Chains A and B, each alone.
Chain A
Amino acid sequence: MRADIPVTVVPRKRRGVELALIIFALGLTLGAYAMVDINVLGELSPIFPYLAGISTLLAVLAHVAVRWRLPYADPVILPCVILLNGLGLVMIHRIDLINDPPLNGARQQLIWTAIGVLMFILVVTWLNDHRPLQGFTYTIGLAGIALLLLPLVPGLGTEKFGAQIWIHVGPYSFQPAEAAKVLLAIAFASYLVEKRDVLALAGYRILGIDLPRARDLGPILVMWLISLAILVWQRDLGTSLLFFGLFVMMLYVSTERAGWAVLGTLLFAAGAYFGYLNFSHVRTRVSAWLDPFSDFDAHFQVINAQFGIAWGGLLGTGLGLGRPGLTPLARSDFIAAAIGEELGMTGLMAVIMIYGLIVARGLRIALQCREPFGKLLATGLSFGFALQVFTIIGGVTRLLPLTGLTTPFMSQGGSSLVCNWIVAGLLLVISHQVRKPAATVAINPDVEKTQLVKAGA
């Protein structure tokens, strides 16, 4: 090709691929659901046609919204999300059936799925572009921190399973941390894009690592204190780790200074050690991790998750044929153990790989993105997602001490499901903005110019 002819690379839209993958994911999900019914009840449950209908409708709606408003979006993320959400529904339904009469957790989860898809469609169609979010840095950030600390408000927060991370309003309860995760990722991204030049200034140099200047330590110390507050008053190790990890990583990416990451890791280690020394629930978690059989009753949950996974073995007992009901909280925190039991380690690894695919696609979007806010936001959302999956599945399989995080898209619970659908929507929005041909953006050459100033970074 000749250099004087401008070359416009138009990425393929690949919506057809997405549709094919969605059909595959739906087929897997509905097949698994039918298998549970047949293995447990001997016949399809009466709600199966409704479930199949609603699931298909939701998947099609999501796909149509993407096809209409984000034609250049990544084609893999949505099918992965649909598959994970579907498998979660299947497992919740399977655990419903252990009780006699069966619970209707799956129906509730389906309603939450519908709300999640609706939010996804709103993000896709109405928001459509992530860049305007950059204008509300402090509003979004404050809202996120407020949500995070909301469970500490007397009368509003309630304690469940030793952690005070729920709030109750009338008959409804939700985990505000999930929403805070999305809001704070956005706020961090826009704040750091704004301040990164200052934060990148080198201070001391120790062991070949440039440490930031003392006067710039403010933000990281504030986040550290908030994380500690979550650990101390909400007694939630997982959320604390997630937020602090997210912030430190984004700080590192925006400034390209490894010093921040080192400092953050040290601060986190200090916080975790402080927690270990001062809180018995942290010590219990650590001893359940290192030596679960030292106290069968106290570590009942972790031990039973291990038993379930071991019982499932490599190929699993088969859907509906295991005993996931023996593990407490099998439908929420321990859904990975239920999957390991009935679908085997193979099935659990497949699920981990699907999570991995979403993270990989998200980070790829970040790499491709040409403007720093989108880059940082995509990195933050993907890495936060990866950190969450790592912490909870690692906790259930005893790679790490157990922390009470939800398994994205699978655990029962509305707040987590809806927020993760929003995350998926945001990633697709960014990917569409990244991959769509530049010509469609460049309506006003002046705008185009300012848009491209930082693109080389």
Chain B
Amino acid sequence: MNKPIRRVAFIALLMFGLLLANGTYMMIFQQQSLAAQPQNRRVRDAEFAQNRGAILAAGKTEIAKTVPSKDRFKYQRVYPEDELYAVITGFYSYDRGSTGLERTYNAPLSGTDDALFIRQLVDMATNKTPEGASVQTTIVPKIQKAAADALGNQKGAVVALDPKTGAVLAMVTSPTFDPNDIAGHDIEAAGKAYDRLASNSQLSNRAAREIYPPGSTFKLVTAAAALADGKTPDSMVDSPDPLKLPGTRVYLSNSTNCGGTKITMTQALKVSCNTAFANLGMDVGEDKLREQAQLFGFDRRHLDDLGGVASQFPDKLNEAQLALSSIGQYDVAASPLQMAMVAAAIANDGVLMDPYVVSTVRSQDLKPIETHKASELSTAMTPKNAKELQQMMSEVVSEGTGRNAQIPGVEVGGKTGTAQSDPKRKPFAWFTSFAPVHDPAIAVAVIVEDANIPRSDIAGGRLAAPIAREVMEAAL
């Protein structure tokens, strides 16, 4: 019987060999992917229990930090300014994921980034709890506060950019949320808070992740296209009231007194004359208008760190649609970030800078791991045209619809807008501006949803311009 017993022994050897080989296989090929599974509570708990790095606003203000806690997670994520920076930091929750920079910079913040590898080894050898890297943002607390205070509890958003670098100086969205509510260690309460906030759409980022009809603020793009097409600020434009849209029976009327039926482009922008810009747009043509919009950043995503969405300029327009698009109606849609970029590019003599919100990622020993260098996205206008448009915008504020944005002693350029996406809804009030005109330090876009006044071009000037003014004042 020894021969079959030897064979049986061989089979047993094979079985044990398979067990060991499978264990080896698991360790080499499966361990990483298993550990990366979002449903893996062990990994999630461990990550949640990490000494996560801080997120800082300019001047080393901590807007998200980690403090020791006495429960099983050992550390608690805290947002010292509650709601103020929620749209930037996002939240970091146990079982509702994370958003904002907490999400995009998770690897460096949690200390698992490859750039921190040596540090991890040292920590492991010295038995120290690893600490994540810190993320330095470009947000300026003073401007951020001014923006949040000025917007108050009106539904809307504010974005402020540094026109010369593209740095986001402030970003406010309202209504917003307190990330502390979702980051708490009482998992159930945190989950309920999340569900409540999500159903009230308090978690949305209106500044970069929502697009709205830009209304008259889009006339800046039309004006830029017209200048590029050879027009000058003094070129005369037909401004009938009303204008019959070609191929339709629809009449476009003006909501303000344009000051005649043939006016200069400067005058048209100053009083936000609809029919004049409709004519300008039809003059320039669909392709050139779209090209100009794209040079300003339309149809592309920006600010990936916060999941920014692309603004849209529609395709395949007929004449009537082109006329409406030229004044920011029809299917044109832009995020407040996009409109701030338009103002910033004009202010920066036509050069559009890539917007960014994170300037540096620093390891625990304050060594920079990652630094953002300001970069150009496109040359949207020639310097000459840009300077002319700056001047036209300055007149909008000094004498036109944007008077509410005037700052004593500072030359401000701006453009109002009022947009109605749906006749049953209250209009959106827009204002986009920059200051000072000759050495711009800040470009701002403001949107107030549900402007509680009758539809008129003044809505942007009355509701949004004062907010923009306070934001600009904070920066100057």
A→B interface (CB under 8 Å): 249, 252-254, 256, 293, 296, 303, 306-311, 313-314, 322-323, 326, 340, 345, 348-349, 352-353, 355-356, 359-360, 363, 366-367, 372, 375-376, 379, 382-383, 386-387, 389-390, 393-394, 397-399, 457
A386, B2: Cα distance in complex, Å: 18
Question: Cβ of A394 and Cβ of B19 under 8 Å apart?
Answer: yes
Fill in one digit per residue for B23-53: 1 if any A CB lies within 8 Å of its CB, else 0. Answer: 1101100111011010111110100000000
In chain B between 285 and 327, which residues have their CB closer than 8 angstroms to a CB of chain A? none
Our pick among A311, A314, A363, A457 for the contact of B42 (Cβ within 8 Å) is: A311
B34 and A352 contact, CB distance less than 8 A: no
- Which B residues from 74 to 124 make CB contacts under 8 A with A? none
Complex alpha-carbon distance, A393 and B16, angstroms: 10
Interface range for B: 20 to 34
Contacts A253-B4, A307-B37; is A397 near B9 (CB within 8 Å)? no
Closest chain-A Cβ to B265's Cβ sits at a distance in Å of 61
Secondary structure of the A side of the interface? helix
Q: Any chain A CB within 8 A of the CB of B256?
A: no
Q: A323-B45, A352-B16, A372-B1 are in contact. Are A303 and B39 (CB under 8 A)?
A: yes
Q: Is the CB of B1 within 8 A of A308?
A: no
B35 and A375 within 8 A (CB): no
Q: Are A323 and B34 in contact (CB under 8 A)?
A: no
Contact status of A252 and B16, CB under 8 A, knowing A303-B39, A323-B42, A363-B9: no
Whether the Cβ atoms of B27 and A390 lie closer than 8 Å is no
Candidates B3, B8, B18; contact of A394 at CB < 8 Å: B18
CA distance A254 to B15 in the complex (A): 21
Contact of B6 among A367, A387, A397 (CB under 8 A): A367
Residues of A within 8 A of B366 (CB): none
Q: Which one, B3, B23, B43, B45, contacts A397 given CB within 8 A?
A: B23
Q: Which residues of B contact A376 (CB under 8 A)?
A: 1
Hey, which chain B residues are within 8 Å of A355, CB to CB?
A: 16
Which residue of A353, A356, A397 is within 8 Å of B22 (Cβ)? A397
Of the candidates B11, B16, B35, B41, which one forms a contact with A310 in the assembled complex, judged by CB atoms under 8 Å apart? Answer: B35
- How far is it, in angstroms, between the C-alpha of A326 and the C-alpha of B34 when the chains are bound? 15
Complex CA–CA separation, A387 to B40 (angstroms): 31
Q: What's the Cα separation between A353 and B2 when bound, in Å?
A: 24
Q: Is B20 on the interface with A (CB-CB < 8 A)? A: yes
| Contact across chains for A323 and B41 when beta carbons are under 8 A apart | yes
19 contacts between A and B (CB under 8 A): A249-B8, A307-B34, A307-B41, A307-B42, A307-B43, A309-B26, A310-B32, A310-B40, A311-B42, A345-B24, A345-B26, A348-B23, A352-B16, A352-B20, A356-B16, A360-B12, A379-B5, A386-B15, A398-B26
Q: CA A457 – CA B4 in complex, angstroms?
A: 11
**6 A-B pairs with least C-beta separation:** A310-B34, A390-B15, A399-B22, A311-B42, A386-B12, A253-B4
| Given contacts A313-B27, A363-B12, A457 and B1 within 8 Å (CB-CB) | yes
- What separation, in Å, do the CA atoms of A367 and B3 have in the docked complex? 9
Most buried by A among B19, B32, B34: B19
Tell me, rounded to whole Å, the shortest Cβ–Cβ distance linking B166 to chain A.
Answer: 41
Minimal beta-carbon separation of A273 from chain B (angstroms): 22
Chain B residues within 8 Å of A389, by CB: 15-16, 19
For A387, the chain B residues whose CB sits under 8 A away are 15
